[in-house]
Chain A
Amino acid sequence: MVADGPTSAGAPIDILGVTQAFRSGGKDLPVLDDVSISARQGEFVALIGPSGSGKSTLLRLLAGLDKPLFGEVYVGGAPVTGPDPSRPLVFQDPTLLPWRTVRQNVAVGPQARGILKQSRGRIDAALELVGLTEFADAWPAQLSGGMAQRAALARALVGDPSVLLLDEPLGKLDALTRRVLQGELLSLWRERGFTAVLVTHDVSEALLLADRVVVFSPRPARVREAIDVDLGRPRDQSTREFNALRRHILEILDADQTGPDRDRTARADHIARLDDKEVLT
């Protein structure tokens, strides 16, 4: 809940009737269809939806890397006109610059903005925050997946963002590392109070972290439902409420599945239900 964290740093988000399309292989490809989402200052919003539905596209619009065909994107009350260090994006791949050490990667933002000298302390603090002080002088190629993603987080946090955009940041990590990083992400969010937009394909992850879960339809994405997660923190995956929400989201996602993927999801859901029974009994 928002009340948990300091509310000073976050910025509210308003996505108003955004439609986005690409031309791909000579054909028009509608990706976002009249999407409207708002987030309060300091809110943690999770986006979930079928792959290829347009979640990353929406994050790129928020980051200011692309412009929507129609509709408006506001952050902190001002229209988004381009990329800004107050709205960094963390990808599924850490995308550390491989020729820079971990510390130099964290320093990219300050250096690009010409405030490297004044930012030494902040850089060290960011490294400390994600527990990479010891590896500050390592090359990215020497890091494990989890450490690389931590470095990417430190790099995004060093500029004290008001909105943190996370595009499946934990998607490629093993289950154990993912759990650890979910916890770290949560405490960073509480400490810093930024507004977080997390794209994930993991329903439990969304419910574990977010204040609200927005479920997308398949491409072109529309908002199927925005679900308030009225669960206390820290959250417990074994509660009845948690699993009810989880099943609800899975049902929305399943209803949209057609074609060859349907069987697989149905099976996954079946297994999920078995899990639930085990838990509930």
Chain B
Amino acid sequence: MTSTLPPIAASTDTGASSTSASARIHEALERIAHPATISAPVITAGILSWIAFALATGFVPNSTDLPLRDAQSVESTTTFTVVVGFAVAAAWALIWALSSVSGRLGAWATRRSANGAAWLLGAGLWALFWEFSTAKADLLEPPYFVAPQEILDRLWASRGVLTDSLANSLLLLAVGFAVGLVAGLITGVTIGWSKRANYWVHPILIFIGPVPALAWVPIAFVLFPTAYTGAVFMIALTVWFPITILTRAGILSVPRSYFDVAQTLGARSWFLVLRVSLPAALPSIFTGAFMALGSSFVSLTIAENFGVNAGLGWYINWKKGWGDFPGVYAGIVVLVVVCGVLLTVLFRVRNYVLRWEKELTRW
């Protein structure tokens, strides 16, 4: 039986009509790829809310019930806060305007405007409420509640100590995380690969790993020669555990066929470990890294308070000791920003390293 295939339908389109057709297709795909639509009322309200915040901060008189210390602090930062309010409003107005520009900048601005509008409004309303409930009406009383100006005031006034603390925290975190990551990868690969190693290490892992960082404090700072090495140990330990568990799990779930293929192509043990197992386990390892980053912040702040006596965690507690709540909040603000930035960086790294997982467009 000789089957004949139907001839491929010849295109009868003229050049001109096919380009307009492809332009139409391009547009339709654009709409699907970037469904971003900017809601003019929401972004307008958002910008207005920040203008309202700036005006209210600048022109509504402060409560006369504020304690002297708070009143002075609020007073000295009011102009700056007003500028911040206007700056936020102006920045978003600019982004909104840019969204009508064509090209990559326009696309970026459109995405920002579409995604950020609701948050802009929400944050603006929150800032207004905050400003009124503290500085203006004194509904939420000092010292536990403080006006936004006071936090800005402290951030500026303590910039030297805060920068030092930030640097100390980041260095300690980086060293501890790096040690824990390397140790976790080595342990995870070893016990995922060798049954004998797994026999000895897995029980230890199961019992030692989940012990909370706080419980290590008495031991860590006694056993280690310096408080700093003790702190590195504590952070590394909390990183080591999730990395090890998830590296091992990742390696155990590598399909056997990958090894078969690599072996028939001439791969030996080292290639199988480093070039097959490890990359195949990467998605799982990144899950471990996210867990590790979260718990490393906990051990970092604990370590800073129980021996290292430097860093953001220490700064926050030190300020609390003095009853300086604006200072406490200032420290927390910096810490929150640091955690958010580090997590975002890890997400970016993951998305780049695992881009082979995501790009599923077929040819």
A interface residue numbers (CB < 8 A to B)? 60, 63-65, 83-85, 87-89, 91, 93, 95, 97-100, 108-109, 111-113, 135, 138-144, 147, 155-156, 159, 165, 176, 237-238, 275, 278-279
Contact = CB atoms under 8 A, between A and B. Distances in A.
A7 B257 CA distance: 31
Contact of B263 (A83, A91, A98, A142): A83
Nearest to B355: A139
A149 to B, nearest CB: 13
Interface string B1-37: 1100100000000000000000000000000000000
7 contacts: A85-B264, A99-B279, A111-B271, A112-B266, A140-B356, A141-B359, A142-B360
Contacts of A141: 356-357, 359-360
A65 B261 CA distance: 10
Contacts of B275: 108, 111-112
Contact of B1 (A84, A139, A140, A237): A237
B257 A91 contact: yes
Which of B275, B355, B360 has the most chain A CB atoms closer than 10 A to its own CB? B275
B356 A155 contact: no
Contacts of B264: 63-65, 83-85, 87-89, 165
Which of A112, A141, A237 has the most chain B CB atoms closer than 10 A to its own CB? A112
Nearest to B261: A95
A112 B262 contact: yes
Interface of B: 1-2, 5, 255, 257-258, 260-268, 271, 275-276, 279-280, 282, 354-357, 359-363
Contacts of B261: 89, 91, 95, 97, 108, 155
Given A97-B276, A155-B261, 4 more contacts: A91-B257, A95-B255, A95-B258, A112-B275
Given A65-B263, A112-B275, A275-B1, A144 B362 contact: yes
Given A95-B258, A99-B282, A112 B268 contact: yes
A99 B260 contact: no
Contacts of B355: 139
Contact of A98 (B2, B260, B266, B356): B356
Nearest to A89: B264
Contacts of B361: 142
A142 B359 contact: yes
B265 A139 contact: no
A3 B155 CA distance: 86
A165 B264 CA distance: 10
A155 B258 CA distance: 13
A167 B255 CA distance: 17
A144 B362 CA distance: 7
Given A238-B2, A278-B1, A95 B363 contact: no
A84 B266 contact: yes
A159 B264 CA distance: 11
Contacts of B268: 112
Contacts of B263: 65, 83
Which of B282, B354, B356, B357 has the most chain A CB atoms closer than 10 A to its own CB? B356
Contacts of B5: 176
Contacts of B282: 99
A88 B266 CA distance: 9
B266 A144 contact: no
Contacts of A135: 363
Contact of A113 (B260, B266, B276, B363): B266
A112 B275 CA distance: 9
A178 B159 CA distance: 69
A254 B356 CA distance: 45
Nearest to B353: A99
Contact of A97 (B258, B354, B360): B258
Contact of A85 (B265, B280, B362): B265
B281 to A, nearest CB: 10
A202 to B, nearest CB: 15
A106 to B, nearest CB: 10
Contacts of A98: 356-357
Contacts of A85: 264-266
Contacts of B266: 83-85, 109, 112-113, 159
Nearest to B270: A112
A138 B257 CA distance: 21
B363 A147 contact: yes
B350 to A, nearest CB: 13
A108 B265 contact: yes
Given A112-B275, A275-B1, A278-B1, A93 B363 contact: no
